Structure 1
């Protein structure tokens, strides 16, 4: 009940002051979120067929978070996240074929087939993972912010982690250093309400994660993470705060994952009614679609064309990921050490 009340509070207070999107912004957000959704659905299907091995954590339901954050960021900003990372890669422009091929362990994958779902990187896009250790990306993201300040770059580190990782000790060491040196980092807590199978209320004494930085003097706010407009609006404020030299900022995104923690999780710790209610009432893509139709930004026919385009991209990625050769055995020895 407390969880529902908190979500309702964020949603109701947010709706009273919702920023509008232009036609182009709404259509961009809809397309980006739909690409993530359809890609993840295909990845889940391929995992079930045995084409994807190891761990696989899907982002279905949380699409508005990374989409809105990306809309507020600038070229050159760095981003880093945990193992639920496919959506983050897609929205910043990484090639869907390369992402899917990495999931299937093929040579054309973004980490040459050696990283799989949890370990993909791109220096070109300043994306630093995909990190499998819970909370590890927070200290690394803080380090990215330190590097930006040390080099005099006008960039921000966008550091994503979940409500479970928020209880890790290294998170608070990072908070302390980030505020001590006023580093340009935005900590984005994707609160999907369950750390694996444990609800927030059972694991956290302070369930308002936006307040976790108060002891360090770090400002924060809760955001309705199911509305891409509110995400983009809050992200713009937070990123400007960090970029202008005021130091770190915390954004707690109140979001929800429809699938289990990973593909091996049957998610029996929550009711089917809870999931179906969120899908019916708060789905970020359906909200965007309704606004597009209501405001005349598009028609059912034009949205079907976008759907067709997205499905073709995902199908092409899946075909590539199942036909591309596996990496040569010699790849076991590459990218292990860096020559200094």
Structure 2
């Protein structure tokens, strides 16, 4: 046991460590309340979502970490596309990370999700590994769909895609809401679509049915302001997408502010679970890249516009500045998170590249409920040769 004199001698060395320990302990357990901008609302009969967001340091840091990992994963996906590891379509979520991340942080595990084709980050948030997401992009057997679906067709527990047909997923989203109501699960469905899909007829049909039966469905319009290369002003007679449900209440949300998203989703989820029916959330966000990897995204908007959004409204940078200013995290800890995220993504890229493609026999897996049967003595993998058939001689033209 140390003497009093020895303890006194150790004080100069121990004091800084103790200070750091207690400071970090305080940060880890501290709650902080952030003031939010008011929400635009349609047919909301009470005060709506809170404009005070109280969040713990642990929760805030987790939000920052998740958005950072999605951003770096999407950057890696873009690089894989450019080096031809990804074939076909590839739509990135860069700039829109706050929407899915903020919603996921307050929804329950059993809730059902469905979205369009910017689905990589959502698939990961709902439980798939980065290796499985990037492997699917590369068409490899380690992918969430064994490499058979690619960028637009990723699925996971309680996640129904990843859908390529613009707006069609909203009808399925209403159907998932009916499932939760019929089975009395206490859950809800999330039907996500973009401003480009907001004018599709099936969306209005789905909304009508959802309200008719008061289904627990959240219609989430991710308004990134451009449907492919067409601005919302040129494609929509009204850009108040949160009010498009008419008889369905709606809220416009700053989709570049993850805390704004979080509070709006809290309110909407409680509304839907209480039996009041569907609700529309318009998440006003922005995609930094083009519509897809084949679109440079500069023919219908200026580079200055993109630069202004990156510098002034970036969701990751915005949360970072807030939590540093609130004393919830330090610059050094932020750098450590960024480094760890890059290392995790780099490792996942390596696995995806080295994973084999699915073999031919696996191409029909999950197509038939029963094993493939023979028809007239043959399976679909065999080639029929008629009796007495002779292969023709090579003919040169």
TM-score, length basis structure 1: 0.93
Q: Distance in 2 between matches of 1:85 and 1:333?
A: 24
- Is 2:145–2:154's contact at 8 Å kept on the other side of the alignment? yes
Query: Do structure 1's residue 155 and structure 2's residue 155 form an aligned pair?
Result: no
Q: Match for residue 109 of structure 2?
A: 75
Q: Which moved more, 1:38-47 or 1:85-94?
A: 85-94
Residue 259 (1) aligns with residue 289 (2): yes
Q: Distance in 2 between matches of 1:119 and 1:31?
A: 25
Tell me, what secondary structure is at the counterpart of 2:221? strand
Specify the alignment match of 1:97 in structure 2. Answer: 131
CA distance in 1, matches of 2:193, 2:366: 26
For the residue of structure 1 that corresponds to 2:105, the secondary structure is: helix
* Structure 1 position 333 matched with structure 2 position 364: yes
Does residue 207 (structure 1) correspond to residue 239 (structure 2)? The answer is yes
Between the aligned partners of 1:243 and 1:165, the Cα distance in structure 2 is: 26
Report if the CA contact (8 A) 1:20-1:229 is conserved. no
Whether the aligned pair in 2 keeps the contact of 1:226 and 1:283 (CA below 8 Å) is yes
Q: Which has the higher contact order (CA 8 A, sep 6+)?
A: 1
Alpha-carbon distance in 2 for matches of 1:148, 1:292: 36
Tell me whether 1:297 sits opposite 2:331 in the alignment. no
Which ranges of 4 or more aligned residues in structure 1 deviate by more than 4 Å?
11-16
1:135 paired residue among 158, 167, 182: 167
Shift of 1:48: 0.4
8 A Cα contact 2:37 2:51, kept in partner: no
Distance in 1, Cα, partners of 2:267 & 2:215: 16
Superposition deviation, residue 18 in structure 1: 4.7
Cα deviation code 1:85-104 (max 9, x no counterpart): 11111222221110000000
Do structure 1's residue 324 and structure 2's residue 355 form an aligned pair? Answer: yes
In structure 2, C-alpha distance between the alignment counterparts of 1:337 and 1:291, rounded to whole Å? 52
Cα offsets for 1:173-226 (capped at 9, x unmatched)? 000100000101001100000000000000001110000111xx2100100000
Q: Residues 12 and 153 (structure 1 numbering): CA distance in 2 closer, same or farther, change over 3 Å?
A: closer
Contact 1:80 1:160 in 2 (8 A): yes
Instruction: Kindly indicate whether residue 274 of structure 2 is the aligned counterpart of residue 240 of structure 1.
Output: no
- Deviations 1:271-318 (Å, cap 9, x if unpaired)? 001000000100000011111211111111111111111111101110
- Supply the distance in 2 between the matched residues of 1:154 and 1:261 (Cα, whole angstroms): 36
Give the match for residue 218 of structure 2: 186
Q: Is the 8 A contact 1:163 1:194 kept in 2?
A: yes
- Partner residue in 2 for 1:41: 75
Say which one has the larger Rg.
2
Q: How does 1:48-63 map to 2 (within 5 A)?
A: 48-63=82-97
Question: In the alignment, which residue of structure 2 is the partner of 1:8?
Answer: none
Q: Which runs of 5+ in 1 are unaligned?
A: 1-10
How many residues end up aligned between the 2 structures? 326
Return the alpha-carbon distance in structure 2 between the equivalents of residues 233 and 13 of structure 1: 11
- What is the SS of the residue equivalent to 2:53? coil
8 Å Cα contact 1:18/1:229 also seen in 2: no
